[in-house]
Chains A and B, each alone.
Chain A
Amino acid sequence: MISAPDVVAFTKEEEYEEEPYNEPALPEEYSVPLFPFANQGANPWSKLSGAKFSRDFILISEFSEQVGPQPLLTIPNDTKVFGTFDLNYFSLRIMSVDYQASFVGHPPGSAYPKLNFVEDSKVVLGDSKEGAFAYVHHLTLYDLEARGFVRPFCMAYISADQHKIMQQFQELSAEFSRASECLKTGNRKAFAGELEKKLKDLDYTRTVLHTETEIQKKANDKGFYSSQAIEKANELASVEKSIIEHQDLLKQIRSYPHRKLKGCDLCPGEMEHIQDQASQASTTSNPDESADTDLYACRPAYTPKLIKAKSTKCFDKKLKTLEELCDTEYFSQTLTQLSHIEHMFRGDLCYLLTSQIDRALLKQQHITNFLFEDFVEVDDRMVEKQESIPSKPSQDRPPSRSLEECPIPKVLISVGSYKSSVESVLIKMEQELGDEYKEVEVTELSSFDPQENLDYLDMDMKGSISSGESIEVLGTEKSTSVLSKSDSQASLTVPLSPQVVRSKAVSHRTISEDSIEVLSTCPSETVIPDDFKASYPSAINEEESYPDGNEGAIHFQASISPPELGETEEGSRENTPSQIDSCCIGKENDGQLVLPSSPAHTQSDEDGVVSSPPQRHRQKDQGFRVDFSMENASPSSRDDSCEGFSAYELDPSHLLASRDISKTSLDNYSDTTSYVSSVASTSSDRIPSAYPAGLSSDRHKKRAGQNALKFIRQYPFAHPAIYSLLSGRTLVVLGEDEAIVRKLVTALAIFVPSYGCYAKPVKHWASSPLHIMDFQKWKLIGLQRVASPAGAGTLHALSRYSHYTSILDLDNKTLRCPLYRGTLVPRLADHRTQIKRGSTYYLHVQSMLTQLCSKAFLYTFCHHLHLPTHDKETEELLASRQASFLKLTLGLVNEDVRVVQYLAELLKLHYMQESAGTSHPMLRFDYVPSFLYKI
């Protein structure tokens, strides 16, 4: 671990600049950005909002056709978590923003009901009254008995921290997509099964009807049919039709993967994503479909029954539960995934950000990070690697890519206000950062500094708390298609500087009641039209030439320079209806605001999801990249902008909103500052919850750190003991009480270097006499002291193998081990340390050890230290060069050299092992005298 949440960069930017900067700058990919919200109030911890829930949770809701929106379950399933938070109310809110929902039915011009394979929509919304912000992931599941065969569901990640949602949008989106994909796969399977059953029923019914008709025919051969017979014939006909319909449905659902693929050859990234998920699904749960064909294999056990040909929509029947809708297996798998998400995003945003930076940096140290990092984290990293690949459109990334994973704040903010003409609901916006904004923008174009970027983030902090019932849709995903569409129609040229493009992301607060703001839309694809890049340079000028003074309401025309006027208006036209609609519907729903799909949106959904040509997106994407790389100094920031910011660029409404930024005045800035102060005042309450419940590994670290700290304070000979561990000499902790021994072993394990990506070589408790194999395998052993004669054997073995071990006797409080006179361990384990908390100490140790690893890395990979520079060089010369490097360059004293040498050997072995396959760990030891330490 490289950085600690406890010591998150706390500085303001100005303070930084004053400091003389002497050291050579770190490579870009190693620099740790300041905490993005630092100048929010110089408090890295997020504000305590008025949220009624104690911590983040995941809510699954359904829009039931019988009772409307209803919460189904929460993760964690603990009433304490959401407390008094009104789940019903919030379900209503989150379900009401699903404006992509295109219901299946009989589309005009089609004889049969058609299944629409809709993509999930991802929306970020906030409810300032509740103090809740949510990432909402809408998905549709198929149910034969449901209206239009679809059941809309949504999964929401609810947090009191808006930044968290916005910052982690990509990650949340990726994780929830995975969960959703799991649900949908299971649902398709279940739906196909359902259809098959239905078909069998129908078939059976048809046979029965047929025979009945035959019988009737035979019964009266008078040449005319009785009304009864006609009825039967009609029924038969409708059964026939129903059969055809259902067969068609079955075909559709079965062809899903195929269609999906066909649709996706246009966008390879997406396709891989799907494939990845498919393969993942098949790997994670074995009994799953190995091939999609046998997924829908019919179940022979089913006996068909006679049914009515016309299925009646009855509202009194019980709808299927979510678990029934999906396969139970898939359902539980989804729940696992969701609780994984809950774990993943648990904790303060600051903590998440830091650990993300941490992970990203660690990933770069793939040669050394196995030594002291937890293998759990390594696993995590693996997972992350897996998931990050498919979600990115292009896989061949420059090495600097990791920075983009460092959450350099994506600018999500734009301050915009617009007037909904129909309802005349004035949505006021906060305008701020007018000049400041422009200024930074200009500088940014010349040299893109990630830290400057941070500035923009503060803007979205400034929610006004005044509004009563307001809901803000902070982001949706679907607007990509809107733009691509309008783009294709009428070359929407929007002259924007990259910064503006980014900043239009989130428009903010509404003061009025009952108002909606769509704050941003976040397409999953990074799509930037060609038109954008052409217009960057001009954008700056335009920005500057904007007339100031339009406060509050926006005048679209005014803010747009004449040449682009027409196009933008088109954008506004597209946008306006949705505003209208939403407001209208909002009224209808007793003041609760619903943002249904506007005609434009719906259309684009259909097009966008299935038939819009994603190749173009791709091309544009690349074009954009190239363009950006020319403009920006750092390639990593380019990536960043591609993936992070472009997400918000495509909704015309935001294009409009962003116009306004330029003319925001400082008037509203006072708002912000007052708000900031309130943040500061509440911050103290927030701090303790920085580690809310903590991951289990966190708790483990904390405890280990605490116990290690205790050990260091308690035993004056802690240093030689730790030296033993660091230099690879097995430390045997001898004691009678298993609990005490285990505790100490767990604590000391943080100092034990690992061999590879496996568990640390630590044996917590052994009761049989030790053997040479044990010393080869374990570097820290807890050993039971037995009083009986059998124990004599144990002790005898210990003294016999004294070459290889240091022995810490807990009962007698003695330590037998070699002398240590270095300077490294005292810094690592200072018994007078001011550090009080276990987790902090753990982090301290980790950072010290990381430093040590880098020394070992240097030593290992310096060519001239290990190989003679010319043929005649003697080994002595080489050895002396090594020694002087260790002493002078790395500054190691006495026994510290041995530590680095040992780590270097491990590094070598690990590096060789990566390809060579199995290699045994060897036991290295020194013939050095041991001393007996006593308290």
Chain B
Amino acid sequence: MLRWLIGGGREPQGLAEKSPLQTIGEEQTQNPYTELLVLKAHHDIVRFLVQLDDYRFASAGDDGVVVVWNAQTGEKLLELNGHTQKITAIITFPSLESCEEKNQLILTASADRTVIVWDSDTGRQVQRISCFQSTVKCLTVLQRLDVWLSGGNDLCVWNRKLDLLCKTSYLSDTDLSFVTGSHIGELIIWDALDWTMQAYERNFWDPSPQLDTQQEIKLCQKSNDISIHHFTCDEENVFAAVGRGLYVYNLQMKRVIACQKTAHDSNVLHIAKLPNRQLISCSEDGSVRIWELREKQQLAAEPVPTGFFNMWGFGRVNKQTSQPVKKQQENATSCSLELIGDLIGHSSSVEMFLYFEDHGLVTCSADHLIILWKNGERESGLRSLRLFQKLEENGDLYLAV
């Protein structure tokens, strides 16, 4: 996953057209989330959620506490106390197959200028690094290299044993907010330095279409000064949350195929693509919305204004003009984002969410709460299953003849 934070330039939507917010009634037949569980452990804004494995996730926020939860039962498994100030970044460092340490690690960075490495199973504090000059605002793991990066005013690369591999003070301008690590393309931006080149080369073995787009978007973004809060991608599309709207950019067609300019009342903070062509977004307005990308056969008259294209500069970025995909634009299928459900639970801005294939959706919010949204029908079935398991264990299950 790729993500960045934009510190500066977060201006009001100068260019966002006033279009009515799409709403959905109370009848949401396609919304599977009919059960929720409110989890309360934090005392301040919960900003981050990371998935640890199939059934666990960790949450962190401004209260400096990391809590590990069971996504199935909502049970609080661990509470990791160590930071004195708010947590600014959290990431998991999965164990390598080859490595003798099987335990998964959690890295947390905090405004107290420390990074703490935790054991996610025991909650033990493995190591604490406090040699930072400034707050680490971003953490990234490059799993292939078995290294992780920390980004603040300077960028450091660490290996698993927490040796500092290299360090840069390139980013002296703290206002500029690209303090991020990412898996592949990101590093190319910092190609002035040796280590990034190195990383780049290693990653270059596996060039993916995303690589290109990411660079392009970033470049454009810089030039246009539009606040992209978050974006995600899959094989064919890049989904971006821009201001209050959602945009879907098709990599093959090299253009935006669907957009929803006012998807939320307020800025969209996080989006994610679900396997079933669904998109989930959460926003500062405290709601989470579920969208479905529906194809519709349409002529050239698209709802997406061309002016916006230009601003985004998607036209310009295409350096590889020789790409064959351009021909497909003739019979372009356009899509639309249909709102199929909204999840209203938080009373304040929803900072982030996490999608579990099996257990539903976890959202965290500035109202200090975490909500576990579940598919009610599925949960009901699971409960029945457990019920009969328990009956069987107790020997209370009789088979009728």
Residue of A nearest to B26 (CB): A929
A918 contact set on B, CB distance < 8 A: 75
Interface residues of A in 836-870 (CB under 8 A from B): 860-861, 863, 866-867
Contact between chains at B34 and A920 (CB < 8 Å): no
Q: Whole-angstrom distance between the alpha carbons of A731 and B82 in the complex?
A: 42
Cβ contacts under 8 Å, A888 to chain B: none
Taking a contact as CB atoms under 8 Å apart, the answer to whether B384 and A908 are in contact is yes
Is A863 a contact of B26 with CB atoms below 8 Å? no
Minimal beta-carbon separation of A186 from chain B (angstroms): 44
Cross-chain contact A927 with B28 (CB below 8 angstroms)? yes
Instruction: Choose among B26, B347, B385 the residue that contacts A772 (Cβ–Cβ < 8 A).
Output: B347
CB 8 Å contact bits of B32-62 with A (1 = contact, 0 = none): 0011111010000000000000000000000
Query: Chain A residues near B27 (CB, 8 Å)?
Result: 927-929
Query: Are A920 and B387 within 8 A (Cβ)?
Result: no
Q: Are A923 and B35 in contact (CB under 8 A)?
A: yes
Contact with B along A322-360 (1 / 0, CB 8 A): 000000000000000000000000000000000000000
- A763 to chain B: closest CB distance in Å? 16
Assess whether A801 is interfacial by the CB under 8 Å rule.
yes
Cβ distance A360 to chain B, nearest Cβ, rounded Å: 21
A866 and B385 form a contact (CB under 8 A): yes
Stretch at the interface among B179-187, B206-214, B338-346: B338-346
User: Chain A residues with Cβ under 8 A from B384's Cβ?
Assistant: 860, 866-867, 908
Q: Which residues of the partner chain B approach A102 to less than 8 Å between Cβ atoms? A: none
Contact of A912 among B28, B36, B346, B390 (CB under 8 A): B390
B330-380 residues at the A interface, CB under 8 angstroms:
341, 344-347, 369, 371, 374, 376, 379-380
Min CB distance, B245 to chain A, in Å?
Answer: 22
Cross-interface CB contact of A867 among B371, B374, B385, cutoff 8 Å: B385
**B390 near A911 (CB under 8 angstroms)?**
yes
Q: Are B387 and A908 in contact (CB under 8 A)?
A: yes
What B residues does A915 contact at CB under 8 A? 390
**Cross-interface CB contact of A866 among B26, B371, B376, B388, cutoff 8 Å:** B388
Per-residue B-contact encoding for A762-779, CB less than 8 Å = 1, 0 else = 000000000111001000
Least Cβ–Cβ distance between B117 and chain A, in angstroms: 30
Residue of A772, A801, A904 contacting most chain B CB atoms (<10 Å):
A772
A771 interface neighbour in B25, B347, B374, Cβ under 8 Å: B347
Residues of chain B contacted by A867 (CB below 8 angstroms): 384-385, 388
Q: With A776-B37, A929-B25 in contact, is A909–B369 under 8 Å at CB?
A: no
B383 at the interface (CB under 8 A from A): yes
Which chain B residues lie closer than 8 Å to A17 at the CB level?
none
**A912–B391 Cα gap in the complex (Å)?**
10
Partner of B388, one of A772, A863, A904: A863
CB within 8 Å for A801 and B344 given contacts A920-B37, A928-B27: yes
For chain A residues 877-935, which have a beta carbon within 8 Å of chain B? 901, 904-905, 908-909, 911-912, 915, 918-920, 922-930
Q: A776-B36, A923-B35 are in contact. Are A930 and B26 (CB under 8 A)?
A: yes
Cβ of B73 under 8 Å from chain A: yes
Please, which residue of chain B has its CB at the minimum distance from the CB of A905? B380
> Is B326 engaged at the interface, CB distance under 8 Å to the other chain?
no
Distance in Å from the Cβ of B120 to the closest Cβ of chain A? 22
B371, A863: Cβ atoms closer than 8 Å: no
**Nearest Cβ in chain B — how far from A913, in angstroms?**
11
Query: B386 contacts which chain A residues (CB < 8 A)?
Result: 908, 912
**Docked complex Cα distance between A926 and B34 (Å):** 6
Complex Cα–Cα for A901 and B376 (A):
11
Q: For the complex formed, measure the closest distance between the CB of B323 and the CB atoms of chain A, giving whole angstroms.
A: 43
A802, CB-defined interface residue at 8 Å: yes
Chain A nearest Cβ from B395, distance in angstroms: 14
Cross-chain contact of B26 among A797, A802, A923 (Cβ < 8 A): A802
B37/A923 in contact, CB under 8 A: yes
A813 contacts B by Cβ under 8 Å: no
A627 to B376 CA separation, bound complex (whole angstroms): 55
A803 pairs with B26, CB closer than 8 A: yes
Interface residues of A in 270-290 (CB under 8 A from B): none
B63 to chain A, nearest CB (A): 18
A800 within 8 A of B: yes
Complex contacts, B369 vs chain A, CB 8 Å: 772-773
Nearest residue (CB) in B for A802 is: B26
Taken together as a complex, chains A and B put the C-alpha atoms of A926 and B31 apart, in Å, by 10
Interface contacts (Cβ under 8 Å), in number, total 92
**B25 and A922 contacting across the interface, CB-CB below 8 Å:** no
Looking across the interface, which residue of chain B has its beta carbon closest to that of A859?
A: B384
Q: Does B305 contact A (CB under 8 A)?
A: no
Which residues of A have CB within 8 Å of B345? 772, 801
Determine if B381 is an interface residue (Cβ-Cβ < 8 Å).
Answer: yes
Q: Among residues 177 to 229 in chain A, which have CB atoms less than 8 Å away from a CB atom of chain B?
A: none
Closest to B372 in A: A922
* Distance, CA A926 to CA B369, complexed state (A): 22
Is the beta-carbon distance between B35 and A924 smaller than 8 angstroms? yes
Tell me whether B397 is interfacial, beta carbon within 8 Å.
Answer: yes
Do A912 and B376 have beta carbons less than 8 Å apart?
no
Q: Contact flags (1/0) for B299-320 with A, using CB distance below 8 Å?
A: 0000000000000000000000
**Which residue on B lies nearest to A773, using beta carbons?**
B38
Q: How far is the CA of A924 from the CA of B28 in the complex (A)?
A: 15
Q: Which of A772, A912, A924 touches B371 (beta carbons < 8 Å)?
A: A772
Determine whether the beta carbon of B37 is less than 8 Å from that of A927: no
- List B contacts of A861 (CB < 8 A): 387, 391
On chain A, the residues within 8 Å of B37 by CB distance are 776, 920, 922-923
**Docked complex Cα distance between A929 and B24 (Å):** 11
**Cα A925 to Cα B35 with chains together (Å):** 6
Cα A293 to Cα B121 with chains together (Å): 49
Q: Please encode chain A, from 643 to 657, with 1 for each CB lying within 8 Å of some chain B CB and 0 for all others.
A: 000000000000000
**Which A residues are in CB contact (< 8 Å) with B387?**
860-861, 866, 908, 911-912
B29 at the interface (CB under 8 A from A): yes
- By a CB distance below 8 angstroms, the chain B residues around A866 are 381, 384-385, 387-388
Q: Give chain B nearest CB distance to A204 CB in angstroms.
A: 63
Give the nearest-CB partner of A915 in chain B.
B390
**Among B29, B383, B391, B399, which residue has the most Cβ atoms of chain A within 10 A?**
B383
- Contact: B35 with A922, CB < 8 Å? yes
Q: Are B34 and A924 in contact (CB under 8 A)?
A: yes
Residues on B with beta carbons closer than 8 Å to the beta carbon of A909:
383
CB-nearest residue of chain A to B25? A929
Q: Are A912 and B383 in contact (CB under 8 A)?
A: yes
Please, which residues of chain B bring their CB within 8 A of the CB of A928? 26-27
For the complex, give the distance between the alpha carbons of A918 and B26 in Å.
32
**A783 CB, min distance to chain B CBs, angstroms:** 16
B74 in the interface, Cβ–Cβ < 8 Å? Answer: yes
Residues of B within 8 A of A800 (CB): 344, 347
Produce 1/0 per residue, A85-129, CB < 8 A to B: 000000000000000000000000000000000000000000000
Contact A923:B344 (CB < 8 A) given known A772-B371, A866-B384, A908-B387: no
- CB distance A773 to B40 under 8 Å? yes
Residue of B nearest to A803 (CB): B344
Complex CA distance for A801 and B75, rounded to whole angstroms: 25
A929 to B397 alpha-carbon distance, docked (Å): 40
In angstroms, Cα B397 to Cα A861, docked, is: 9
In chain A, what residue has the closest Cβ to B386? A912
In the bound complex, what is the Cα–Cα distance between A915 and B396 (angstroms)?
15
Q: How far is the CA of A776 from the CA of B74 in the complex (A)?
A: 13
List of B residues within 8 angstroms of A771 by Cβ: 347
Residue among B40, B381, B397 having the largest count of chain A Cβ atoms under 10 Å? B381
Cβ-closest chain B residue relative to A777: B38
A867→B74 CA distance, assembly (Å) = 24
B residues in contact (CB < 8 Å) with A: 25-29, 31, 34-38, 40, 73-75, 341, 344-347, 369, 371, 374, 376, 379-381, 383-388, 390-391, 397, 399
11 A–B pairs (Cβ distance < 8 Å), ordered by A: A772-B369, A772-B371, A773-B40, A776-B37, A801-B345, A866-B384, A867-B388, A908-B387, A924-B376, A927-B29, A930-B26
Contacts A908-B380, A911-B387, A924-B35 aside, 6 further interface pairs with beta carbons under 8 A come to: A860-B384, A922-B379, A923-B35, A924-B376, A925-B376, A928-B27
Counting from the closest, the 3 A-B pairs by CB-CB distance are: A866-B384, A927-B28, A908-B383
